[in-house]
């Protein structure tokens, strides 16, 4: 497990080995959201029944929250959505060539949608959005208090992704086939599990690498059936300590030990037996657990932390950047820690022009 070395990945259609650095080598699909980020106080959290550190889907009682947060001073808008963030970070870490990362998701035909398209272009991500006009582009309120962030996602258009209207189109499916590493956050299970399954089966049948994230406790609790349909196809499973604990409880694992939960996840049934499942659980400032070993995170002065929003997405993005170039597990995790360390010292999931990762 010390290495994630690929068995030579070949495209079945052409039988040509895929170069590690080809365009569209990394494929992501998920909920594209415009993050609306602002510092709030405890009264604001209490008013809308929010925990300081959580991710939830917006309900009717949160409608006023979106109207209120945009009136705060120092509101920032950033292209977001977990999977899109990770693909963007992976592209930033790799730098060249542009468009290593492909992203699919659904947006509205509106100003926020145009901002997301522009931000994807600026990040050199090859985004192919399904655009529709029945719902506006999705938003995510990032309510920042100190080192904590409470995320409230109003999926709107992101919820309208349709497999038959986008993923199944020949030109789009060709982009899926071009990739060799795939990443989909668990959040997308609430939108289009059938799209995830189609991609996961393609990956497994062609001995490529499928990565997934537990994403939030509510996914393991309320979308358990769909999650467990996908799990046999998962080669790399990500999550944080809270998500891991919730998943273990829902699955009836008889342990609260994160390292043991990782091993139990590794031993769940697996479709493609040529690849042993790798499980990676982050624990904030504590060591990252990766199935059989732990890796210390980068030390940071707590006062340097500006905003932890996007830290998990950044970790995955850094990890994926090295997975695409066939680095060993240790390097993938080191890159993940580096990217997360950069992101928590900035507002939102944003980054400097170039990485300083060697």
Annotated catalytic residues are 313
Whole-number Å distance between alpha carbons of 62 and 68: 10
Residue 32 makes CB contacts below 8 A (sequence gap 6+) with: 79, 80, 81, 84, 103, 105, 106, 107, 116, 127, 129, 137, 138, 158
The pair of three-digit structure tokens given for residue 235, joined into one six-digit string:
């080669």
CA dist 320 and 332 (Å) reads 7
- Surface-to-core class of residue 284, CB atoms within 10 Å of its CB (0-12 exposed, 13-18 middle, 19+ buried): middle
* Cβ(196)–Cβ(230) below 8 Å: yes
Instruction: List beta partners, residue 162.
Output: none
Secondary element (H or E) of residue 277: none
Buried b (16+ CB within 10 A) or exposed e, 61-92: ebeebeeebeeeeeeeebbbbbbbbbbbbbbb
């Amino acid at each position: 497990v010390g290495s994630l070395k690929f068995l030579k990945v070949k495209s079945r259609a052409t039988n040509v080995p895929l170069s590690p650095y080809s365009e569209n080598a990394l494929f992501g699909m998920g909920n594209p959201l415009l993050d609306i980020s602002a510092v709030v106080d405890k009264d604001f959290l209490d008013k809308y029944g929010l925990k300081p550190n959580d991710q939830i889907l917006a309900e009717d009682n949160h409608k006023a929250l979106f109207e209120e947060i945009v009136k705060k001073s120092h509101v920032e808008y950033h292209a977001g959505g977990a999977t899109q963030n990770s693909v963007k970070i992976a592209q930033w870490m790799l730098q060249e060539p542009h468009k290593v990362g492909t992203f699919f998701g659904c947006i509205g035909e509106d100003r926020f949608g145009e901002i997301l398209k522009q931000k994807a272009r600026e990040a050199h991500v090859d985004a192919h959005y399904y655009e529709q006009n029945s719902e506006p582009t999705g938003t995510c309120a990032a309510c920042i208090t100190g080192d904590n962030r409470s995320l409230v996602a109003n999926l709107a258009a992101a919820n309208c992704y349709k497999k038959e209207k986008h993923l199944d189109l020949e030109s789009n499916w060709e982009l899926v086939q071009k990739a060799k590493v795939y990443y989909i956050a668990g959040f997308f299970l609430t939108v289009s599990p059938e799209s995830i399954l189609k991609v996961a089966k393609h990956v497994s049948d062609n001995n490529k690498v499928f990565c997934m994230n537990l994403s939030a406790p509510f996914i393991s609790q309320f979308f358990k059936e769909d999650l467990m349909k996908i799990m046999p196809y998962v080669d790399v499973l990500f999550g944080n300590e809270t998500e891991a604990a919730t998943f273990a409880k829902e699955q009836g694992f008889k342990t609260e030990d994160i390292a043991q939960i990782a091993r139990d996840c590794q031993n769940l049934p697996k479709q493609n037996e040529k690849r042993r499942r790798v499980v990676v659980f982050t624990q904030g400032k504590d060591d990252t657990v990766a199935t059989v070993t732990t890796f210390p995170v980068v030390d940071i002065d707590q006062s340097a932390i500006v905003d932890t929003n996007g830290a998990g997405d950044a970790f995955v993005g850094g990890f994926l950047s090295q997975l695409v170039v066939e680095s060993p597990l240790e390097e993938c995790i080191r890159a993940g820690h580096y990217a997360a360390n950069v992101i928590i010292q900035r507002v939102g999931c944003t980054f400097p022009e170039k990485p300083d990762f060697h």
